[in-house]
């Protein structure tokens, strides 16, 4: 999993939630992947009780190896969470919700396991907002759309426009009251490990070989001429349990 491009998003979320204080609070990271968000929360000095859950066994194993002081559990959300009522002050979920088939059941469960007045922070890239500064505009548009609509094998569901829907999902449930926010990741370097470069490698399997090679070559040239530009927006929703 690409962490380099995401670190600044994680730091933005930690700052929004003021998680660098010593105040003890219990936090669930729903769909924690390899645990890097909770790792940063722990490094930021929060005296919190941290739990990460994810449906991927290999990710949970990796998370436990990387962050042995944090509790990680392998659990696939399928309508219910195997967690007690009113157990958490905060639930964070980053780039997971598009995969969840029954989003209303997920919201009901978040509401159930949060303490009174608890907070949910959901963040999601809106993949249609990916911008590449390329000469071949049509190919670039098709590449972004193909990535946005890509349902990967481990996903039950996919929605490349999930970011823009977060606020409506939570506010419309009548169970949370809060506000939206956004975070823009901008890159000016095209090299392995950057978000724009790594997504372009994913795109290789989604559009024609010739088209992909043309686009990739253009981006390398742009990079050499200091004209490379990539950006993608994550939309956030932070709400309090009603």
Ligand X SMILES: C[S@@+](CC[C@H](N)C(=O)[O-])C[C@H]1O[C@@H](n2cnc3c(N)ncnc32)[C@H](O)[C@@H]1O
Among the listed ranges 51-59, 110-118, 127-135, 174-182, the one in contact with ligand X (CB under 6 A) is: 51-59
Continuous H helices in 33-101: 36-43, 57-66
In DSSP terms, which residues pair with 28 in a beta bridge?
51, 91
Tell me the closest approach of the beta carbon of residue 102 to ligand X, in angstroms.
Answer: 9
Dihedral over Cα of 98, 171, 44, 31: its sign: negative
Told to check if 41 binds ligand X by CB under 6 A, we report no
Between residues 8 and 55, which has the closer beta carbon with respect to ligand X?
A: 55
- 101: which 2 tokens? 């088939």
- With CB under 6 A as the contact rule, the residue among 41, 54, 190, 223 that binds ligand X is 54
Tell me the closest approach of the beta carbon of residue 137 to ligand X, in angstroms.
Answer: 28
Q: Contact 180/236 with Cβ under 8 angstroms?
A: yes
- With CB under 6 A as the contact rule, the residue among 100, 139, 169, 203 that binds ligand X is 100
Among the listed ranges 50-58, 80-88, 178-186, 211-219, the one in contact with ligand X (CB under 6 A) is: 50-58
- 206: which 2 tokens? 């989604």
- With CB under 6 A as the contact rule, the residue among 19, 27, 28, 94 that binds ligand X is 94
Give φ, ψ of 231 to 5 degrees. Answer: -150, 150
Told to check if 96 binds ligand X by CB under 6 A, we report yes
Q: What is the DSSP letter of 99?
A: G
Q: Contact 128/144 with Cβ under 8 angstroms?
A: yes
Told to check if 70 binds ligand X by CB under 6 A, we report no
Between residues 80 and 179, which has the closer beta carbon with respect to ligand X?
A: 80
Residues of span 148-187 touching ligand X by CB under 6 A: 154, 156
Terminal C-alpha separation, the chain: 35
Residue 92 CA to residue 9 CA, distance in Å, equals: 13
Count of residues of this chain found to bind ligand X when the rule CB under 6 A is applied? 19
Told to check if 77 binds ligand X by CB under 6 A, we report yes
Residue 215 CA to residue 211 CA, distance in Å, equals: 6
| Interaction site with ligand X (CB under 6 A) | 1, 6, 31-33, 36, 54-56, 59, 76-77, 94-96, 99-100, 154, 156
């Amino acid at each position: 999993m690409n962490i380099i491009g995401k670190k600044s998003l994680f730091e933005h979320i930690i700052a929004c939630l003021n998680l660098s204080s010593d105040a003890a609070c219990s936090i669930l990271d729903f769909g924690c992947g390899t645990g890097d968000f909770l790792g940063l929360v722990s490094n930021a000095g929060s005296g919190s009780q941290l739990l990460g859950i994810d449906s991927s066994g290999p990710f949970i194993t990796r998370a436990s190896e990387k962050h042995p002081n944090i509790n990680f559990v392998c659990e696939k959300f399928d309508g219910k969470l195997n967690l007690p009522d009113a157990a958490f002050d905060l639930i964070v979920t980053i780039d997971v919700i598009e995969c969840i088939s029954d989003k209303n059941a997920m919201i009901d469960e978040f509401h159930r396991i949060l303490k009174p007045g608890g907070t949910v922070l959901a963040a999601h890239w809106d993949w249609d907002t990916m911008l590449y500064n390329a000469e071949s505009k049509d190919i670039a548009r098709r590449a972004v759309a193909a990535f946005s609509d890509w349902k990967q094998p481990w996903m039950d569901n996919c929605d490349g426009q999930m970011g823009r829907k977060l606020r409506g999902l939570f506010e419309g449930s009548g169970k949370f009251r809060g506000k939206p926010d956004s975070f823009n990741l901008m890159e000016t370097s095209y090299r392995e490990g950057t978000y724009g470069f790594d997504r372009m490698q994913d795109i290789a399997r989604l559009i024609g070989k010739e088209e992909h090679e043309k686009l990739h070559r253009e981006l390398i040239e742009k990079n050499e001429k200091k004209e490379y530009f990539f950006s993608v927006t994550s939309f956030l929703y932070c709400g309090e349990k009603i």
